[in-house]
């Protein structure tokens, strides 16, 4: 027990909370991960399954995290210790570990976005795909990547250190509107490119044969992406909801957040794929760096591509920052709530530890994939699954009552939500977790084993 009974910070406005949650969701998950996941998993086939998962498991699971956070007014560890007993009380540690690991390599990728923004200002994008790949490999690991990782983490630490209202809320009120305006403007520009019609066919017309043949790969990837992009399974929504007043309509706020997040992810596809198809680049190139290689080559081939690339990667950097501060807040809130540590001290200490954990990801792309696959396809899904089982089957009355605060009697809607958590959410997450573990094992015995053999 730390200082859980001390006066707790709250969001100054509803808009501040929504922008913070949207900012957390609208980050690298939408603009970095989403396009290369779509490319790797068959285009519109993945998009369709992803959108279904957002509706079927994303929205109900988000409300699970909201009710736990607001009811307890605690961080994930403190929240689970308050509402659960036995081994269930330790589930919160999964969320803390997930946020900690994700931010360690997330910050490295965010550093890439800063580097590519500067590269655009120098008119340094290379049109040849092979040269662009070599350029990425040289920039994405080593001292340059470590320094940018350090710079990004320093900014995150600074914002989180100033607290909820003066730090996070103030920052996202600037960043989120900027992200929305820029992405819509870039999508309008991409519509004018000559490869737009072919790109839209690839992105928007599902190939049912691909779904039938590749569902074992598409299912865990789509489930992991849905959780990643909505900041579920990592404790962010539990933590952010813990700063909410009791009269907020959680279902309404959740729908707004998911609507914004999904729309921006979708619009990002309307930007990226026309650019790739216009430049004649295959969108299915695999790997965490695929979108940097492919887009940099495309920008190098377009008139005024340096300007377009600067704007695009700059937007990604802003989005990455809005998400990173939420991941940092999860761990910092635990240290503040349970250990009584001053916020500024907690931010510096936790940020420093995350930076150190991220150094391996900044030195080799295989190690980044090692962390990414483990967090995305196992930890995220595991945390969401266990919390859904606990709330759906053991704490349903408490959860329905908490969801009804600020809205009145939910009636049949509350019952429908709990059964959505109990059956489709849990079943989909169980299947996704099993397939994710199998895919991670393939990585360990394949690319990672080869990497170890080359040492």
pLDDT band, residue 82 (cuts 50/70/90): very high
Q: Given the structure tokens 């009811």, which residue do they identify?
A: 71
pLDDT for 276: 84
Using the predicted structure, report yes or no on whether residue 246 has a pLDDT greater than 70. Answer: yes
The structure tokens listed for 284 are: 């299915």
Is the pLDDT confidence value at 209 over 80?
Answer: no
Predicted pLDDT of residue 3? 43
Helix (H, G, I), strand (E, B) or coil at 416: helix
SS3 6: coil
> How many angstroms separate the CA atoms of 417 and 391, rounded?
11
Q: In this structure, how many other beta carbons lie within 10 angstroms of the beta carbon of residue 350?
A: 22
Q: What is the pLDDT of residues 156-175, one digit of tens each?
A: 999 888 876 666 667 777 77
Residue 371: pLDDT band by 50, 70, 90 thresholds? very high
Pair 220, 432: CB distance under 8 Å: yes
As a whole-number percent, the residues of the chain with pLDDT over 90 amount to: 34
Average pLDDT of every residue of the chain? 85
pLDDT at 323 over 60: yes
Looking up tokens 């690319």 gives 447
Distance CA 244, CA 17 (A): 8
The confidence score (pLDDT) of residue 8 equals 60
| Minimum mean pLDDT range among 6-20, 90-104, 343-357, 424-438 | 6-20
Q: pTM score, two decimals?
A: 0.85
On the question of pLDDT at 58 being above 50, the answer is yes
Nearest to 69 by CA among 323, 347, 405: 405
Residue that wins the pLDDT comparison between 398 and 337: 398
* pLDDT greater than 50 at residue 2: no
- Topology of 14-454 in CATH? Amino acid/polyamine transporter I (1.20.1740)
- Under DSSP, the state recorded for 446 is T
pLDDT exceeds cutoff 60 at 52:
yes
Residue-wise pLDDT for 257-301, tens only, equals 888 888 888 998 898 888 888 878 777 765 566 678 878 888 888
- Runs of H (alpha helix) within 73-91: 76-83
* Distance of alpha carbon 164 from alpha carbon 151, whole angstroms: 22
Confidence of residue 1 (pLDDT cuts 50, 70, 90): very low
Give residue-wise pLDDT tens across range 389-431.
999 999 999 999 999 887 766 767 889 999 999 998 999 889 8
Report which of 17, 106, 149 is spatially closest to residue 70, judged by C-alpha positions.
17
């Amino acid at each position: 027990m730390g200082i859980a009974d001390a006066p707790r910070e709250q969001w100054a406005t509803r808009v501040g909370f929504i922008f913070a949650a949207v900012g957390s969701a609208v980050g690298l998950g939408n603009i970095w991960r989403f396009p290369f996941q779509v490319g790797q998993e068959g285009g519109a086939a993945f998009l369709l399954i992803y959108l279904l998962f957002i509706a079927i498991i994303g929205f109900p699971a988000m409300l699970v995290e909201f009710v736990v956070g607001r009811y307890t007014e605690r961080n994930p560890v403190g929240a689970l210790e308050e509402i659960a007993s036995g081994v269930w009380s330790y589930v919160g540690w999964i969320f803390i570990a997930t946020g900690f690991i994700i931010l360690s390599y997330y910050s490295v990728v965010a550093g890439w976005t800063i580097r590519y923004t500067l590269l655009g200002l120098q008119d340094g994008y290379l049109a040849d795909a092979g040269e662009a790949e070599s350029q990425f490999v040289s920039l994405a690991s080593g001292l340059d990547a470590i320094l940018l990782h350090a710079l990004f983490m320093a900014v995150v630490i600074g914002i989180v250190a100033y607290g909820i209202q003066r730090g996070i809320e103030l920052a996202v009120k600037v960043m989120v509107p900027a992200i929305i305006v820029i992405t819509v403007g870039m999508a309008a520009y991409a519509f004018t490119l000559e490869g737009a019609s072919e790109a839209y066919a690839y992105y928007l017309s599902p190939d049912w044969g691909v779904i039938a043949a590749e569902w074992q790969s598409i299912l865990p990837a789509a489930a992991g992406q849905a959780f990643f992009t909505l900041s579920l399974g990592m404790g962010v929504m539990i933590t952010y909801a813990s700063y909410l007043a009791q009269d907020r309509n959680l279902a309404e706020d959740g729908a707004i957040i998911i609507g914004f997040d999904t729309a921006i992810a979708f619009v990002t596809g309307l930007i990226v794929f026309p650019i790739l198809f216009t430049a004649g680049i295959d969108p299915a190139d695999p790997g965490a760096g695929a979108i940097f290689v492919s887009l940099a080559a495309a920008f190098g081939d377009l008139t005024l591509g340096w300007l377009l690339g600067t704007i695009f990667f700059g937007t990604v950097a802003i989005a990455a920052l809005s998400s990173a501060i939420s991941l940092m807040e999860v761990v910092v809130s635990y240290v503040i709530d349970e250990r009584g540590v001053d916020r500024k001290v907690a931010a510096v200490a936790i940020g420093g530890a995350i930076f150190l954990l991220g150094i391996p990801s900044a030195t080799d792309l295989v190690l980044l994939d090692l962390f990414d696959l483990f967090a995305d396809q196992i930890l995220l899904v595991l945390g969401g699954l266990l919390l859904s089982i606990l709330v759906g089957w053991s704490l349903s009355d408490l959860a329905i009552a908490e969801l009804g605060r600020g809205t009145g009697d939910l009636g049949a809607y509350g019952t429908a939500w709990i059964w959505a958590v109990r059956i489709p959410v849990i079943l989909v997450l169980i299947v996704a977790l099993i397939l994710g573990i199998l895919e991670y094992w393939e990585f360990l015995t394949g690319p990672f084993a080869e990497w170890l053999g080359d040492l």
